[in-house]
């Protein structure tokens, strides 16, 4: 077991007793159980709509397996997560779709449109040019590298305030990670919206453990909570004409915006600070990737 010390949830790469390797997200994380609910709903919906998303499993976790963890904060997280947690199939060798890799990696406009459409449907505002939550997974000569969706814990923002839900609400996707690819969201809408049925949604919500839904004060119990998710997402799919995102900057506009942002960040800085090297520059391994993806 190896903690991943990036991001606020502090997941871990875990070898399970089924011989599989998973990225495990814990119920005791700061984001809480609703983040895991969102992971299941959006991930399984993505898979049902034909998008690539790693397999999810329920992981029964015993904190004793991580008793030697040296960091108290991580140990506290593990102690608070005894029982059922969420595992995502680990993709060995996969890389984040960073802006640098995106310059060399082709994405079909329809595939981009499908992903944007899913994010708009599920109010996933956490797939931006700076944090794509997309992985490029190579197949080492078997097939070209492909995009895989990950990390949907910040989606379904409406379930944090059920009393203000609006199925037709628009969200700002101008800086979506795939906006520069000219996503064909209208074709995606025509293809995907009819597939979001009550039967499909009920089947997906049945995969969410009762314990992750039981403590929501907005509902009398897990079944009532499931019905609310089904009703909201079904209504939202039927209202897609009201929220369909279509306004995306192209690569040149993104570059101009980034240059303006960098210029603003330098204003008022002392000269010595302006000469500090970019600590977020592209690592050598990522540069090598651009050659393979070209």
Q: Which of 233, 103, 127 is nearest to 180 (CA)?
A: 103
Per-residue pLDDT of the chain (294 residues; tens, 9 = 90+): 565 645 557 898 989 888 899 999 999 998 899 999 999 999 999 999 999 999 999 999 988 887 777 888 888 888 889 999 999 999 999 999 998 999 889 999 999 999 999 999 999 999 998 899 999 998 665 668 899 999 999 999 999 999 999 999 999 999 999 999 999 999 999 999 999 999 999 999 999 999 999 989 999 999 999 999 999 999 999 999 999 999 888 778 877 877 777 777 777 667 665 555 544 444 444 434 433 443
Examine the domain organization and report whether 83 and 105 are in the same domain. no
**Which of 41, 67, 89 is the last residue before a domain boundary?**
89
Examine the domain organization and report whether 6 and 102 are in the same domain. no
Q: Is residue 42 part of a domain?
A: no
- Give residue 7's region: left, alpha or beta (phi > 0; psi -120 to 50): left
Give the domain range for residue 17: 2-30+55-89
Number of domains into which the chain is organized: 2
Examine the domain organization and report whether 84 and 108 are in the same domain. no
Examine the domain organization and report whether 230 and 103 are in the same domain. yes
Q: Is residue 251 part of a domain?
A: no
Examine the domain organization and report whether 184 and 210 are in the same domain. yes
Q: Is residue 19 part of a domain?
A: yes
**Which of 74, 89, 104 is the last residue before a domain boundary?**
89
Examine the domain organization and report whether 109 and 168 are in the same domain. yes
Q: Is residue 64 part of a domain?
A: yes
Examine the domain organization and report whether 138 and 206 are in the same domain. yes
Q: Is residue 105 part of a domain?
A: yes
Phi, psi (deg, nearest 5) at residue 283:
-70, 160
| pLDDT number for residue 282 | 43
Q: Is residue 273 part of a domain?
A: no
Examine the domain organization and report whether 84 and 175 are in the same domain. no
Q: How far apart are CA 32 and CA 13, in angstroms?
A: 19
| pLDDT number for residue 265 | 74
Examine the domain organization and report whether 205 and 237 are in the same domain. yes
HSE toward the beta carbon, residue 104, CA cutoff 13 A: 15
| pLDDT number for residue 155 | 97
pTM for this prediction: 0.85
Q: Is residue 222 part of a domain?
A: yes
Q: Is residue 291 part of a domain?
A: no
Examine the domain organization and report whether 64 and 138 are in the same domain. no
Examine the domain organization and report whether 227 and 194 are in the same domain. yes
Examine the domain organization and report whether 80 and 131 are in the same domain. no
Q: How far apart are CA 267 and CA 256, in angstroms?
A: 17
């Amino acid at each position: 077991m190896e903690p991943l010390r990036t991001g606020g949830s502090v997941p871990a790469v875990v070898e399970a007793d089924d011989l599989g390797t998973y990225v495990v997200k814990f119920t005791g994380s700061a984001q809480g159980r609703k983040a895991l609910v969102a992971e299941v709903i959006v991930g399984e919906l993505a898979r049902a709509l034909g998008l690539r998303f790693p397999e999810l499993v329920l992981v029964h976790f015993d904190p004793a397996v991580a008793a030697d963890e040296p960091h108290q904060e991580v140990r506290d997280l593990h102690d608070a997560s005894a029982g059922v947690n969420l595992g995502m199939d680990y993709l060995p060798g996969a890389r984040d779709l960073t802006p640098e890799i995106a310059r060399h990696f082709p994405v079909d406009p329809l595939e981009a449109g499908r992903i944007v459409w899913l994010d708009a449907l599920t109010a996933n505002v956490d797939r931006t040019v700076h944090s794509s939550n997309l992985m490029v997974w190579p197949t080492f000569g078997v097939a070209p590298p492909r995009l895989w969706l990950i990390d949907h814990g910040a989606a379904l923002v409406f379930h944090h305030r059920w009393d203000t839900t609006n199925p037709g609400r628009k969200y700002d996707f101008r800086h979506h990670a795939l906006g520069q690819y000219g996503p064909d969201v209208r074709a995606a809408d025509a293809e995907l919206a009819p597939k979001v049925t009550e039967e499909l949604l009920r089947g997906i919500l049945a995969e969410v453990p009762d314990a992750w839904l039981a403590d929501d004060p907005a509902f009398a119990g897990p079944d009532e909570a499931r019905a609310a998710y089904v009703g909201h997402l079904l209504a939202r799919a039927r209202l897609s004409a009201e929220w369909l995102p279509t306004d995306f900057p192209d690569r040149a506009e993104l570059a101009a915006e980034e240059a303006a942002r960098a210029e603003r960040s330098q204003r008022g800085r002392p000269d010595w600070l302006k000469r500090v090297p970019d600590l977020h520059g592209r690592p050598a391994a990522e540069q090598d990737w651009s050659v393979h993806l070209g």
